Amino acid sequence: MPRDGTLYDDSLWRAQNRERAQFFKTYYGPLGANSLHGLAIVDTISCSVLYANARFLASHGLAPNLEMPALCAAVHGRGSTPCGEGDAACPAMVGAKKGVEHRLTEVRPGGDGLPARTAEIVVIPLTFQSQFGRRSEVLLVEKEQSQAAPATQESEQEYHAAVARHSADAILGLGLDKKVRFWNRGAEELFGYSAEEAIGQDYGLLVPDTDIDRQEYQQLTRDFEKKGLVKNQQARRRTRDQRMVVVNLTRSHVLDAAGHPHGSSEICRDVTLEVLLRELIEHQLRAMNVIHEIGDLLHSTHSVDEILRLILTGVTAGQGLGFNRAFMLLVEDEDKDGGVLAGRLAIGPSTGDEASRIWNKLSKEPVALPDLYSRYEGTTEGHDVLVNSIVRSFRVPMADDSHPFVRSIKSRRAKNVIRGRLTDENKQVDAALCAQLQSDSFAIVPLNTREKPIGVLIVDNLITGLPVTEADLQMLKVFANHAGIALENSRLRANLERRVDELDHLTRRMQETQARLLQSERLSVIGEMAARIAHEVRNPLVSIGGFARLVRKGISADDPRSDYLRVISDEVARLERIVQGLLDYSRPQQTLDLVDVDVPRLVHEIAAMTRLEAETHGVSIVERFDPALKTVHIDGDKVRQVLLNLIRNSLDAMMREGQVVVETALVGDDRFRITVADNGPGIPKDKRERVFEPGFTTRQHGTGFGLAISKRLIESQGGQISLRSEVQAGCTFDIVLPRRVHIEEREPPRS
Amino acid sequence: MGQDDAAADAEQKKPRILIADDEPNLRLLYQSELESEGFEVLLATNGREAIAVAASEKPDLVVLDIRMPGMDGVEVLQRILDHNRTMPVILNSAYSSYKENFMTWAADAYVVKSSDVTELIAKIRDVLSKRKGERGGQAGTSAGG
């Protein structure tokens, strides 16, 4: 359990620790091996050592080839009992609890096969956010102090001199003229000058010849003159072989017998390694944070283009991994010969001038990555023309196993090319590839999901000319993992969204159909009643109106009754029009609703509509389209009703698993066919003739009118429907329709 | 020729129209209207009667209601035409939808029932004059012989 009470997945955490251990080994291995100090990095949440150098292992009595990560408890000789929170015996746990950098002195009495020692331990806690939660690691730097001088010194005075001479820290004595008067063994080791060489030289010899270092030294001198003491100041010094070292120095007065200063002493402690390590770790933490931040951003977007742009921004931004250029190639057309690796997007300046302009602008102030992303996004259009034209020139067939990009994807290994040479295979890459990228040193990092390859990321430092280091490669791999997951998520999501849209669309359509059905049912009831009433009312109206007209004809137009009769006949005429309207309205609608219909889409909709039902029967629905057949002019609703009916029939007929194939095809120039075929039990020959007859059914359920109605619906559009069937080999229904149905095709010729 | 002769001749030439309708009020209406328009009117109250009268009286034209109890107008039409292929028939119905029934194509005209009988009378005249034109040629030849 993590100590902050949050839950973490043990196996994921262990996997991440293995990744970290591998990373440290690559990153710090060479540096730590040369160190005189013991170095270790401990994950304090799972209480494991992720990295320890040879010196550290030796001084704790551990095997030099101890496999990492290892239990922290092993270091303390406790077997497998983990250290507790803030465990006083475990500097790492103490460090994690304190949360700030500090030093402590550990005195080990010796025993259990370990020699006695006194060590100063610098404890540097490091916390950061990883993809699995907050990590709390501690860097330990152990400096063993040389053992006290033998107790056989003649005098107290000589003993003091011996202590100073043999101290592991450098101790210098300076005269008032700043000339070296005392130079101990520590100073010889640290600065490389022997006592003979150093004594009599000016202290300035040790100050590096840069403005900053000189100014700092002048400041130090002034401070010392004012206060008489400078304590724990960090400064850079120059060694005999012109290396830079970082020291922590304390300078104080040396007083004569009368109490007057007659010089100064300076104690310098070498902190180069600590500083270097801290800088490296901070750089790494920054990069990890960037990766994490980009991870967050990546998961907040679902557009593939945006994800690609984010990835490339993270790879190239100064606050991120800081490469000069990055190219993204994705696997496309996977179903054709394994697909092709096609260039999609790139970021990077085309010239050094442009690069320094952009980076200067960006590095003026610290910018949060999301801001940087949005800012950079705005500036990419003009700047990346060249790199984008480079990336788009790539189309590498996935079948080309000799291509380093393809090899990288297929082996799931990052590859590094330095001056045209693949470092892992130790052979030259094709010169044409370098020419195409306009660079001979670059790294190839595969983007994969667990199941399949997605693409490759190519990065280089064209502008600075620096090759990509193995440590960079490690970082890129971690980054590529994030990127791969995000890209896959986005694809899955896009898929899901499409499905949800489809489902929405279908649901709406079904609701509409249902509403229409209900409406027409209602209309037919109303219509029937209206027709009956209208008919009953009609004849009396004809009598009333007819006689009114007849009587009116027989009387003079001057007779006032003529007007009354006109009123009667007019009103009757009005009633007759109303009745006629009712009768016309209630006539069954037999008209065709001819519209342009996209056949593949119609078939796809119906397949999607029935797929769920089919899958519960263990039946798959297969769609096959003739690419030449697209839009036709038919009554789509009626054809949809027929296809639904045919597919449902097939599903009912199939007792076991099977498939229904819906296939489209052109027939000649002006007709087309939709075939619905199943591999169910089929229909016996004697019943085949009768399936389209009204009331005929082979099923236990069903009205027996489905196929009869289907036949009428297809024939009303000038089409035919027919059945082919073999017993035990399934049923095949063929619907053939004109590509353009005309109204005339179903109406009888007028007299 | 004397005036009486002329009147008698006109009387003789009065077209004879058979009206078949199950509604007595409508029969009375059509009878009154047609007689006032100078037609001689025969009446039938149902399909069977109409077939019988058409066969025995040989009217110049038959007006058939479609909805009648027993035998409907479409069937009556069929029977009348079976017996006499050239008999002019007009279908008169409350339903305009019967227009689309192919059985009715055999009729010479189709009129939707209305209190305004102008259309019916116009259709009767129209059908008669067409038939007369066809028959007129034949009559002319026989008159000459």
Q: Which of B77, B108, B115 to mutate to test the interface with A (most CBs of A within 10 A)?
A: B115
At residue A362, the pLDDT reads 46
Which of A476-485, A515-524, A654-663, B117-126 is predicted most confidently? B117-126
Q: Which domain holds residue A676?
A: 595-745
Amino acid identity at A64: P
Q: Quote the tokens at residue A717.
A: 């559009």
Q: How far is CA A70 from the centre of its chain?
A: 31
At residue A160, the pLDDT reads 77
Minimal CA–CA distance to A85: which of A96, A74, A70, A77? A96
> Region A470-496: what's the mean pLDDT?
78
At residue A520, the pLDDT reads 65
Q: Identify the residue with better confidence: A459 or A274.
A: A459
Q: Does A748 touch chain B (CB under 8 A)?
A: yes
Which chain B residues have a beta carbon less than 8 Å from that of A549? 115-117
CB within 8 Å: B95 and A540? no
A636 lies in a domain?
Answer: yes
Q: Mind telling me how many Å the CA of A711 is from chain B's nearest CA?
A: 21
Rounded Cα distance between A263 and A574, Å, is: 130
**Alpha carbon distances (Å) from A422 to A200, A402, A434, A440:** 54, 12, 12, 10
At residue A37, the pLDDT reads 80
At residue A132, the pLDDT reads 66
> Region A315-334: what's the mean pLDDT?
79
Q: Identify the residue with better confidence: A282 or A627.
A: A627
Write down the mean pLDDT value for chain A. Answer: 79
> Region A236-262: what's the mean pLDDT?
86
- Which of A206-210, A322-326, A472-476, A747-751 shows the lowest mean pLDDT across its residues? A747-751
Name the residue of chain B whose CA is nearest to A550's CA: B33
Rounded Cα distance between A279 and A285, Å, is: 10
A566 plus A601 within the same structural domain: no
Which chain B residues have a beta carbon less than 8 Å from that of A542? 26, 29, 113-115
State phi, psi for A137 to the nearest 5 degrees: -115, 155
At residue B123, the pLDDT reads 92
Q: Mind telling me how many Å the CA of B47 is from chain A's nearest CA?
A: 18
Rounded Cα distance between B32 and A596, Å, is: 56
At residue A682, the pLDDT reads 83
Share of chain A above pLDDT 90, in %: 15
- pLDDT band at residue A557 using 50, 70 and 90 as cut-offs: confident
A191 plus A256 within the same structural domain: yes
Which chain A residues have a beta carbon less than 8 Å from that of B36? 550, 553
Side-chain-side CA neighbours of A551 within 13 Å: the count stands at 17
Q: Tell me the per-residue pLDDT of A78-126, one tens digit each, with 9 for 90 and over.
A: 666 777 777 877 888 888 888 888 888 888 877 777 778 888 888 888 7
Q: Mind telling me how many Å the CA of A750 is from chain B's nearest CA?
A: 8
CB within 8 Å: A534 and B102? no
> Region A402-409: what's the mean pLDDT?
91
A169 plus A135 within the same structural domain: no
At residue B53, the pLDDT reads 94
CB within 8 Å: A550 and B116? no
- pLDDT band at residue A149 using 50, 70 and 90 as cut-offs: very low
> Region A719-744: what's the mean pLDDT?
86
Which chain A residues have a beta carbon less than 8 Å from that of B117? 546, 549
Q: Quote the tokens at residue B36.
A: 């006032």
Taking every pair of Cα atoms in chain A, the longest distance, rounded to a whole number of angstroms, is 166
> Region A449-473: what's the mean pLDDT?
79
| Percent of chain B that is helix, strand, coil (3-state, to 5) | 55, 15, 25
A457 plus A509 within the same structural domain: no
Q: Tell me the per-residue pLDDT of A252-295, one tens digit each, with 9 for 90 and over.
A: 988 887 878 888 999 998 888 777 777 767 766 766 676 667 76
- pLDDT band at residue A25 using 50, 70 and 90 as cut-offs: confident
> Region A169-192: what's the mean pLDDT?
90
At residue A320, the pLDDT reads 61
Q: Specify the number of domains making up chain A.
A: 5
CB within 8 Å: B113 and A583? no
Q: Does A549 touch chain B (CB under 8 A)?
A: yes
At residue B141, the pLDDT reads 35
At residue A526, the pLDDT reads 65
- Rounding to the nearest 10 degrees, give the CA dihedral for residues A688, A691, A696, A697: 80
- pLDDT band at residue A745 using 50, 70 and 90 as cut-offs: very low
A68 plus A108 within the same structural domain: yes
CB within 8 Å: B115 and A573? yes
Write the CATH number for A554: 1.10.287
Minimal CA–CA distance to A486: which of A294, A322, A290, A289? A294
Which chain B residues have a beta carbon less than 8 Å from that of A748? 100, 102
A73 plus A164 within the same structural domain: no
User: Which are the contacts of A267, defined by CB distance < 8 A and separation ≥ 6?
Assistant: A167, A169, A170, A171, A172, A249, A250, A251
CB within 8 Å: A546 and B95? no
A616 plus A739 within the same structural domain: yes
CB A433 within 8 A of CB A309: no
At residue A147, the pLDDT reads 54
Residue A364: pLDDT over 70? no
Which chain B residues have a beta carbon less than 8 Å from that of A545? 114-116
Which of A546, A576, A584 lies at the smallest CB-CB distance from B117?
A546
CB within 8 Å: B117 and A549? yes
Residue A213: pLDDT over 50? yes
> Region A19-40: what's the mean pLDDT?
76
Residue A380: pLDDT over 70? no
**b/e map A466-479, b = 16+ CB within 10 Å:** ebbeebbbbbbbbb
> Region A677-701: what's the mean pLDDT?
73
C-beta atoms surrounding A160 within 10 Å: 11
Peptide bond into A627 cis (omega under 30): no
Domain boundary among A554, A585, A616: A585
At residue A751, the pLDDT reads 31
At residue A697, the pLDDT reads 60
At residue A369, the pLDDT reads 46
Domain boundary among A585, A603, A623: A585
- pLDDT band at residue A8 using 50, 70 and 90 as cut-offs: very low
Q: Is A193 helix (H, G, I), strand (E, B) or coil?
A: coil
At residue B143, the pLDDT reads 34
A316 plus A441 within the same structural domain: yes
At residue A480, the pLDDT reads 83
CATH class (in words) of the domain with range B3-144: alpha beta
At residue B125, the pLDDT reads 94
pLDDT means per 10 residues, chain B with 145 residues, are 50 85 92 92 94 93 88 83 86 67 67 88 91 57 33
At residue A590, the pLDDT reads 56
- Which of A507-521, A614-628, B66-80, B90-104 shows the lowest mean pLDDT across its residues? B90-104
Domain boundary among A585, A619, A635: A585
> Region A670-687: what's the mean pLDDT?
88
State phi, psi for A108 to the nearest 5 degrees: -105, 125
C-beta atoms surrounding A527 within 10 Å: 18
A134 plus A199 within the same structural domain: no
Residue A346: pLDDT over 80? yes
A412: left (phi over 0), alpha (psi -120 to 50) or beta: left
- Residue length, chain B? 145
Q: Is B22 helix (H, G, I), strand (E, B) or coil?
A: coil
At residue A2, the pLDDT reads 40
A58 plus A181 within the same structural domain: no
Q: Does A591 touch chain B (CB under 8 A)?
A: no
Side-chain-side CA neighbours of A488 within 13 Å: the count stands at 15
A213 plus A187 within the same structural domain: yes
Q: Does A576 touch chain B (CB under 8 A)?
A: yes
CB A696 within 8 A of CB A641: no
Q: Is A732 helix (H, G, I), strand (E, B) or coil?
A: strand
A578 plus A605 within the same structural domain: no
Which chain B residues have a beta carbon less than 8 Å from that of A716? none
